[in-house]
């Protein structure tokens, strides 16, 4: 079959490689002059930075991990033990929050534990799960943890009132810590959460984009079309026309809302559903530091606005010994925004630097240079009612013979490994049909 793959991120590259290996005539359309998508990276004066915040190479799916790591054969990868913290009121708290209660001040620890027990008891005695995220957090964690972390941190990320968000997206993503672990933590006995991510990998050189390059290396020559944005996509009989060229099948990893605007003949109700698929954008502020003694942390969450606009900071120099020159280090801050950019690049950088330097993470005179990267589509915004819109859009795309896959292509909260899994499953589906 002749297949068009739209978008050269990790999903599109994986799908193009797998389908080409099965003998299909594949064309991969990428609007930019490089592959990578949300996994894009840059190397500047010996410092490596990712554009769309911190990525790690991890999966519970062995087939996916083998597929991703195989592409790093010439690059290599570095293995790290996750060390994650929350910066709260001038101190580090272990993450997840409920496993780090022993790190809190006495009055905060008491209130967090008391309210967690109350919430736990109410859940166990049948109090139903709320249908909005703000109240779901209270139901799940209690008022103390919500006031200290869950509400301010999520308000920073999503930039909309939390009661406007639904809850289906958190199912399976937020483990329920055993009460025994929470009690032990409050009494000073350290407990671990999210142990499935205790060990992760990262490319030795080139940043996370090296993962995409490793996958793309298996795509035969002549398939990838860089600097080729899709301007026309219409159905003609049982085929699709992409920029004047006919294809038997189309696989789209483009953001669904953008895809909806591109298509012709979309019914009004479906077009409205496409338009309702919202997202949050990201500004990544990278700082190269003349600092050898970086803390051992992988990444740090920042719930309080007084500590800067960033919701998360990654010590990227800890991910690989080649991410920074010898004797140097690097830090990468993530600032999310919704519809309106958070000021100029210089203003955002200054706000990040002010917050982190005031917290003692580095001195201003240790900053060698900074870079800012804006990513329009970073996070799916799970507004209430999203599921109904998605069901309508996906059903219509299926009726039209359009395959929509990937994080924004299918509008699913996918990490990179889940994007690869989606491509593997799609390729298997095509193979079963032939």
- The per-residue pLDDT for range 307-348, each reduced to its tens digit, is 999 999 999 999 999 999 999 999 999 999 999 999 999 999
For residue 155, the model assigns a pLDDT of 98
Least confident of 89-103, 165-179, 310-324, 379-393: 165-179
Alpha helices in 97-159, H assignment, sequence order? 106-124, 133-141, 143-145, 151-158
Mean pLDDT over 419-429 rounds to 98
Q: Is the pLDDT of residue 172 over 80?
A: no
406: left (phi over 0), alpha (psi -120 to 50) or beta: left
- The per-residue pLDDT for range 337-379, each reduced to its tens digit, is 999 999 999 999 999 999 999 999 999 999 999 999 999 999 9
Is residue 395 very low, low, confident or very high in pLDDT (cuts 50, 70, 90)? very high
Contacts of 237 (CB under 8 A, 6+ apart): none
For residue 264, the model assigns a pLDDT of 87
Strands 249-252 and 402-404: parallel
Tell me the CB-side half-sphere exposure of residue 425, using CA atoms within 13 A: 11
CA-wise closest residue to 338 among 169, 165, 160: 160
- The per-residue pLDDT for range 396-422, each reduced to its tens digit, is 999 999 999 999 999 998 999 999 999
Is residue 195 very low, low, confident or very high in pLDDT (cuts 50, 70, 90)? low
Cβ(58)–Cβ(200) below 8 Å = yes
For residue 236, the model assigns a pLDDT of 93
Q: Angle at which helices 209-216 and 62-70 pack, to 10 degrees?
A: 80
In our burial notation (b when 16+ CB lie closer than 10 A, e otherwise), range 129-142 reads eeeebbebbbbbbb
Question: Tokens at residue 299, please?
Answer: 């990444």
Q: Is the pLDDT of residue 132 over 90?
A: yes
For residue 194, the model assigns a pLDDT of 63
Cis peptide leading into residue 408 (ω within 30°): no
Residue-averaged pLDDT of the chain: 95
Strands 2-6 and 25-29: parallel
């Amino acid at each position: 079959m002749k297949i068009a793959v739209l978008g050269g991120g990790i999903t599109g590259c994986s799908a193009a490689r797998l389908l080409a290996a099965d003998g299909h005539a594949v064309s991969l359309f990428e609007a930019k002059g490089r592959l990578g998508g949300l996994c894009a990276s840059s190397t500047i004066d010996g410092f490596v930075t990712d554009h769309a915040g911190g990525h790690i190479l991890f999966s519970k799916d062995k087939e996916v991990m083998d597929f991703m790591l195989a592409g790093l054969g010439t690059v290599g990868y570095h293995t790290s033990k996750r060390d994650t913290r929350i910066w709260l009121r001038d101190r580090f708290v272990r993450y997840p929050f409920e496993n780090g209660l022993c790190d809190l001040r006495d009055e905060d620890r008491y209130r967090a534990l008391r309210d967690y027990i109350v919430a736990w008891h109410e859940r166990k005695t049948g109090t139903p799960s709320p249908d909005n995220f703000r109240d779901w957090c209270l139901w799940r964690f209690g008022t103390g943890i919500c006031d200290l972390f869950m509400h301010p941190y999520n308000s920073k990320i999503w930039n909309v009132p939390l009661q406007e968000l639904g809850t289906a997206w958190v199912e399976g993503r937020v483990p329920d810590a055993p009460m025994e672990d929470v009690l032990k933590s409050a009494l000073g006995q350290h407990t671990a959460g999210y142990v499935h991510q205790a060990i992760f990998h990262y490319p030795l050189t080139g940043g996370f984009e090296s993962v995409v390059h490793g996958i793309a290396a298996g795509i035969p020559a002549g398939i990838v079309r860089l600097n080729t944005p899709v301007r026309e996509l219409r159905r003609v009989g049982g085929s699709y026309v992409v920029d004047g060229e006919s294809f038997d099948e189309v696989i789209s990893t483009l953001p669904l809302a953008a895809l909806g605007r591109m298509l012709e003949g979309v019914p009004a109700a479906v077009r409205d559903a496409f338009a309702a698929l919202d997202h949050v954008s990201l500004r990544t502020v990278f700082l190269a530091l003349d600092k050898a003694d970086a803390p051992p942390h992988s990444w740090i969450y920042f719930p309080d606005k007084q500590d800067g606009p960033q919701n998360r900071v990654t010590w990227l120099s800890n991910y690989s010994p080649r991410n920074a020159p010898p004797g140097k280090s690097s830090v990468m801050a993530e600032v999310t925004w919704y519809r309106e950019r958070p000021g100029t690049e210089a203003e955002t950088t200054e706000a990040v630097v002010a917050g982190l330097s005031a917290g003692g993470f580095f001195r201003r005179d240790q900053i060698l240079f900074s870079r800012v990267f804006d990513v329009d589509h970073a996070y799916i915004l799970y507004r209430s009612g999203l599921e109904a819109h998605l069901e309508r859009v996906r059903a219509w795309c299926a009726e039209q013979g359009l395959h929509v896959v990937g994080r924004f292509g299918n509008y699913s909260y996918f990490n990179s490994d889940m994007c690869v899994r989606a491509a593997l499953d799609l390729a298997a589906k095509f193979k079963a049909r032939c």
